Amino acid sequence: MAVLVLVLNHMSAQNETKITQFNSALNQFLNVRDLCISQDGSQAFFTIQSPLQDISQIAYIKKGNNGWTEPELMSFSSSYMDLEPFLSHDGKRLFFVSDRPLDDSTKVKKDFDIWYVERKAAGKAWSSPKNVGAPVNSDLNEFYPSLTTPPPKVRGFLPNA
């Protein structure tokens, strides 16, 4: 009998999901992809692309009292192909894919690598982009960043992890 009660409680908890509505904030773009939402549901990050996909930038919206704000481009997203944002669980680090050069000494695009920007807290300014580096990035293309909380043995694998 105790097992049945636990199963029923677990099933009812699964039905208590909250659906985030974006209204028409994202409908103004022809190509929207790679959406991620902050853990508290107050911010959403996504990729917008031109019709021929030759321009790809990361934008965000914030939830306010009157719904979602108008989309804004991320401060770092301009000259290069930026896509696939992934926000860390604490909201302090945003990972993304880019073909930007490793440093400012050249404008020559690189293969796609995983990069990140960080901030001290929600609402604070984002840092300049940082390449995750090896062994995650290689001489080939890397895509689709995602994270989980690493076990204690693996901490330190990524900067400040």
State pLDDT tens for residues 16-61: 455 555 555 555 667 888 999 998 889 999 999 888 888 899 999 9
Q: Provide mean pLDDT across the span 78-98.
A: 93
Q: What is the pLDDT of residue 27?
A: 59
Domain boundaries, the chain: 21-161
**Burial of 37 from C-beta contacts in 10 A (0-12 / 13-18 / 19+):** middle
What backbone phi and psi angles, to 5 degrees, belong to 140? -105, 180
User: Is the model's pTM score more than 0.95?
Assistant: no
